[in-house]
A and B are shown apart, each in its own frame.
Chain A
Amino acid sequence: MLRNTQESMTGKNKIYPYLISSGLVFITNLLGEFVKRKIEPTNLVMFYLLVVVIVAIRWGQGPAIVASILSVLSFDFFLVPPYLTLGVADLQYIFTFVAFLIVGVVVSTLASKAREQVIQHQTEKLQTALLNSISHDLRTPLASITGSLTALLDNTSGLDDTARRELLETAFEETGRLNRLVGNLLDMSRMEAGALRISRKLCELRDVLGTSLEQLKGKIGSRNIRIDISRDFPEIPMDFSFMMKVFLNLVDNALKYSPADTTIEIKTAIFKDKVKIEIRDQGIGIPEGELKRIFDKFYRVERPSRMMGTGLGLSICKGIIEAHSGEIAARNNSDKGATFIIILPLN
């Protein structure tokens, strides 16, 4: 596929490289005419090989093979006695032809492979940073899982029950992380491909939040979460599952970045045709200059390394909210911590 793209970019016409190759062989013929009395014909073969190599590097295998065949024919026709016929006076030239063809094909194959690699390298360079980041994030939990499990499988290690339990718990926690990462990558790629299937149906915000919090109950523990939704809060057209992802992400972030003894507040407000939902923590806040960039893909604010994340969560939130024709933003509170604000339309 890469090659096709490249070809359609460099050659407007597919015949073009073949014509140039033929031209180059023709020029070599002319050159041969000038020097053929001074140089052994078999040495003239080198000129043709040079052409084949150039063609292979520049235009790939097809034109190079055509150049090889044309070269053999021209060489025979112009430079091998009897001249201007395809007949051959000395049978040893047959070996030259065969050897040339083989060398031509091999050289052109190698050269075009090298060429493809160069093209591929350029294209891949664009994705390398992305892939590095993803594979690092995927390998990190895998490394913990492999490490824990191999330690458990190792009969000679003499682990006590506590240690075994700890290793198992580590492996289990890391599978969760791996699963979340894969889910995030899937959401992200669907979003990029425009294939995020949002199905908006009227939902109660209270239910979406409650179900999200129930899923996070392990992480919430005894943390205080205050929810403020007025009795007359309208039902909002939204995708229950996707909006849960948004709240899971935002509440999880709030839990991660704020001290355990502080409260997380979820506040709501109703406007004429939209609603506002705020998730407010009393944590470390977000550096002022990064309030917008945190929604960028793979962007991560410098944090202590124990704060592991994929750098995808917030950009997925943004994608989901925008798919609902809403808006999401972050700001720092005047006193302490950060607030994420979501605006959703009512119709």
Chain B
Amino acid sequence: MTEKLNLRILVVDDEKAIRHFLRVSLSAHGYNVFESATGKEALEKSVSSHPDAIILDLGLPDMEGIEIVRDVRRRSKIPIVILSVKEDASDKISALDAGADDYLTKPFSTGELLARLRAVVRRLLPPEREEVFRIGKLSVDITKRCVTVNGEEVNLSPTEYDILKLLILNPGRVLTHTQILREVWNKSENYEGILHLLRVTISNLRSKIEPNPDRPTYVLTEPGIGYRLRSED
């Protein structure tokens, strides 16, 4: 389990109560917690405390949270989970596009945070020998390019497969529309009809792999932002 690895987590939030409950609950799960209340301190500690992951509140008193995301991304690939109270999608999109991995909207439950954290730090672990991704009744063998549901092989179109593979290779990450379009089609959101194509492809992918395509449980929509793959059972 990742909890036993003594991973170092930097918690950046100006609210003392939030830092406190995060420290208590993360420490209880074996994480080593470092705190900072300001953006300036966060930038220093993101180097000095050698964190394995950063939990970052977007609304800091002294600087924009997104500046911290950009600064950290210039130097490293440390997973970053964003905390925000704003329901506005655009802040989250710009943070994700700048390289944040995932986001949580306050208030959130500790269980949810731990699950997201486990998913993003999984990337830090040495790659599993077995290169087969499994979730529910779906399994995807990336090396053999083979997708099965309930043990039966499913035929995916090249773009359907590319999207699924992209989601699998980015465990725990929310992928924005922009990121998926760039990776799969090498196009920007402004390209005429491309978003429609993305929606149709996702819809077709779901109807092939989801147990109930009307209520998807593997490929999840992040409203107004993008998509993520369910990371845990």
Q: Are the CB atoms of A202 and B196 closer together than 8 Å? A: yes
Secondary structure of the A side of the interface? helix
Q: Which residue of A lies closest to B107 (CB)?
A: A179
Q: Are the CB atoms of B203 and A240 closer together than 8 Å? A: no
CB-CB under 8 A from B224, the residues of chain A are: 199, 239-241
B217 within 8 A of A: yes
Chain A window 205-239, contacts with chain B (Cβ cutoff 8 Å), 1 for yes, 0 for no: 01101110110010000000001010000010001
Residue of B196, B220, B223 contacting most chain A CB atoms (<10 Å) = B223
Q: Complex Cα distance A217/B212, Å?
A: 13
Q: Which residue of B lies closest to A220 (CB)?
A: B215
Known pairs A175-B107, A206-B214, A241-B89; A211 contacts B220 (CB<8 A): yes
CB-CB under 8 A from A229, the residues of chain B are: 214
Q: Are the CB atoms of A213 and B215 closer together than 8 Å? A: yes
CB-CB under 8 A from A209, the residues of chain B are: 214
Closest chain-B Cβ to A236's Cβ sits at a distance in Å of 12
B43 within 8 A of A: no
Q: Complex Cα distance A239/B221, Å?
A: 14
Interface positions of A from 77 to 123, Cβ below 8 Å from B: none
How many chain A residues sit at the interface, stated as a range, is 20 to 34
Q: Are the CB atoms of A241 and B215 closer together than 8 Å? A: no
Closest chain-B Cβ to A209's Cβ sits at a distance in Å of 7
Q: Are the CB atoms of B214 and A240 closer together than 8 Å? A: no
Q: Complex Cα distance A199/B217, Å?
A: 26
Partner of A240, one of B196, B217, B220, B223: B223
A327 within 8 A of B: no
Closest chain-A Cβ to B24's Cβ sits at a distance in Å of 15
A-B contact count (CB 8 A): 50
A204 within 8 A of B: yes
Q: Complex Cα distance A46/B185, Å?
A: 91
Closest chain-A Cβ to B109's Cβ sits at a distance in Å of 8
Known pairs A213-B215, A214-B220, A227-B214; A235 contacts B199 (CB<8 A): yes
B87 within 8 A of A: yes
Q: Which residue of A lies closest to B199 (CB)?
A: A204
A244 within 8 A of B: yes
Q: Complex Cα distance A202/B192, Å?
A: 13
CB-CB under 8 A from B221, the residues of chain A are: 207, 210-211, 240
Chain B window 211-228, contacts with chain A (Cβ cutoff 8 Å), 1 for yes, 0 for no: 001111100110110000
Chain B window 100-114, contacts with chain A (Cβ cutoff 8 Å), 1 for yes, 0 for no: 000000010100000
CB-CB under 8 A from A244, the residues of chain B are: 223
B195 within 8 A of A: yes
Residue of A183, A206, A213 contacting most chain B CB atoms (<10 Å) = A206
Q: Are the CB atoms of B214 and A210 closer together than 8 Å? A: yes
Known pairs A240-B224, A244-B223; A204 contacts B203 (CB<8 A): yes
CB-CB under 8 A from B109, the residues of chain A are: 172
Residue of B107, B199, B215 contacting most chain A CB atoms (<10 Å) = B215
Chain B window 195-212, contacts with chain A (Cβ cutoff 8 Å), 1 for yes, 0 for no: 110010011000000000
Closest chain-A Cβ to B68's Cβ sits at a distance in Å of 25
Q: Complex Cα distance A214/B89, Å?
A: 19
Residue of B87, B203, B214 contacting most chain A CB atoms (<10 Å) = B214
CB-CB under 8 A from B196, the residues of chain A are: 202, 235
Q: Which residue of B lies closest to A239 (CB)?
A: B224
CB-CB under 8 A from B217, the residues of chain A are: 214
Given A207-B202, A210-B215, A227-B214, 11 new contacts (CB under 8 A): A172-B109, A175-B107, A209-B214, A210-B213, A210-B216, A211-B216, A214-B216, A229-B214, A241-B223, A241-B224, A244-B223
Residues of chain B at the chain A interface (Cβ within 8 Å): 87, 89, 107, 109, 195-196, 199, 202-203, 213-217, 220-221, 223-224
Q: List 30 A-B contacts (CB under 8 A).
A: A172-B109, A175-B107, A199-B224, A202-B195, A202-B199, A204-B199, A204-B203, A206-B203, A206-B213, A207-B202, A207-B203, A210-B214, A210-B215, A211-B216, A211-B220, A211-B221, A211-B223, A213-B214, A213-B215, A214-B215, A214-B216, A217-B215, A229-B214, A235-B196, A235-B199, A239-B224, A240-B221, A241-B89, A241-B223, A244-B223
Lowest 5 CB-CB distances: which A-B pairs, in order?
A241-B223, A240-B223, A211-B221, A227-B214, A213-B215
